């Protein structure tokens, strides 16, 4: 897939999945705009010194900060929204602050970035691609027991994807999402040492699916929430 000279925003680009995806995009010739919030993200990001990486500090739950991020990518081709957070907590123990934190981190950030991406793409008139990150519990709600706030926030991302995909297809913008199960990362292995890690989807495997959905080669797929469950 050829991304030469195409500008791509990748939120969550400094994480395990994001870094795998950014690496593939750079190899395919893309210019990657990667927002970050905390200094620690930069320290673990392997691609920070690459000539085609544009780093910018941004709070993705703040409209002005998001607008500034997208102002820096006026020739935007694709916007990929990996940034998010996870919380495992029973409903009876989840207060409003914890609920809003999950909604802000997972849904509001995605919504604001989708909105800014659509405005930027329609201004250029060349169309584009948007890829969101939902999650398996966001599609299979019963698997979200014990993490209902997270599940609801990811279900909202899935619904947004399908609705927005219908809304902007007339502008040549194709919107899709992937829904991973537990991703095989060092942090998840540490949290679940007895799980069957070999069955979990790997970051590079998920990244390849995202890469296609964000590419010019994808000419017809829209409004899809693609399960990337691995063998779980």
Nearest alpha-carbon partner for 130 in 145, 116, 114, 142: 114
Q: Quick check: 150 and 87 in contact, CB under 8 A? A: yes
Task: Specify if 13 maps to a domain.
Answer: yes
pLDDT on residue 100: 98
Q: Quick check: 115 and 158 in contact, CB under 8 A? A: no
pLDDT on residue 151: 98
% of the chain exceeding 90 in pLDDT: 98
* Residue length of the chain: 232
pLDDT on residue 81: 98
pLDDT tens sequence across 10-35? 999 999 999 999 999 999 999 999 99
CATH number where 98 lies: 3.40.50.720
Q: Quick check: 133 and 178 in contact, CB under 8 A? A: yes
Average pLDDT over residues 42-54: 96
pLDDT tens sequence across 194-225? 999 999 999 999 999 999 999 999 999 999 99
Task: Specify if 130 maps to a domain.
Answer: yes
User: Which residues span the domain enclosing 113?
Assistant: 7-228
Average pLDDT over residues 146-161: 98
Task: Specify if 78 maps to a domain.
Answer: yes
Q: What are phi and psi of 37, to 5 degrees?
A: -115, -45
CA angle (4, 212, 32) in 5-degree steps? 40
User: What H or E segment, with its residue span, contains residue 199?
Assistant: none
Residue found by looking up tokens 């006026």 in the block = 74
pLDDT tens sequence across 29-44? 999 999 999 999 999 9
Task: Specify if 143 maps to a domain.
Answer: yes
Task: Specify if 15 maps to a domain.
Answer: yes
pLDDT band at 80 (very low <50, low <70, confident <90, very high): very high
Contacts 24+ apart (CB under 8 A), 47-55: 47/19, 47/22, 47/23, 50/26, 52/26, 53/22, 53/26
* 92 burial level (CB within 10 Å; 0-12, 13-18, 19+): exposed
Task: Specify if 2 maps to a domain.
Answer: no
**What six digits make up the tokens of 40?**
């620690």
DSSP type of residue 107: I
User: Structurally, how many domains does the chain consist of?
Assistant: 1
- CA trace torsion 218, 12, 117, 133 (10° rounding): 50
Residue found by looking up tokens 């991406």 in the block = 117
Average pLDDT over residues 169-193: 96
Task: Specify if 83 maps to a domain.
Answer: yes
> What average pLDDT is seen over the chain?
97
pLDDT on residue 119: 98
Nearest alpha-carbon partner for 144 in 108, 189, 102, 190: 102
CA angle (144, 149, 150) in 5-degree steps? 65
pLDDT on residue 1: 87
Task: Specify if 1 maps to a domain.
Answer: no
pLDDT on residue 232: 83
pLDDT on residue 224: 98
Average pLDDT over residues 38-59: 96
């Amino acid at each position: 897939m050829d991304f030469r000279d195409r500008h791509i925003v990748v939120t969550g680009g400094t994480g395990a999945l994001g870094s795998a995806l950014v690496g593939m995009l750079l190899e395919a010739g893309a210019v990657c705009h990667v927002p970050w919030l905390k200094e620690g993200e930069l320290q673990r990001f392997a691609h920070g010194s690459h000539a085609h990486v544009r780093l910018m500090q941004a709070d993705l739950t703040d409209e002005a900060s998001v607008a500034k991020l997208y102002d820096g990518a006026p020739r935007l081709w694709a916007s990929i929204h990996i940034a998010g957070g996870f919380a495992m907590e029973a409903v009876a123990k989840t207060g409003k602050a914890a609920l809003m934190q999950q909604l802000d981190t997972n849904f509001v950030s995605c919504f604001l970035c989708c909105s800014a991406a659509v405005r930027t793409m329609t201004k250029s008139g060349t169309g584009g691609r948007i890829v969101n990150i939902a999650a398996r519990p966001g599609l299979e709600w019963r698997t979200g027991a014990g993490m209902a706030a997270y599940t609801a926030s990811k279900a909202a991302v899935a619904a947004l994807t399908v609705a927005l995909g219908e809304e902007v297809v007339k502008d040549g913008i194709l919107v899709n999402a992937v829904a991973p199960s537990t991703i095989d990362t060092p942090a998840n292995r540490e949290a679940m040492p007895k799980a069957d890690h070999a069955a979990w989807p790997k970051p590079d495997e998920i990244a390849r699916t995202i890469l296609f959905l964000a590419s010019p080669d994808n000419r017809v797929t829209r409004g899809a929430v693609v399960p990337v469950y691995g063998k779980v």
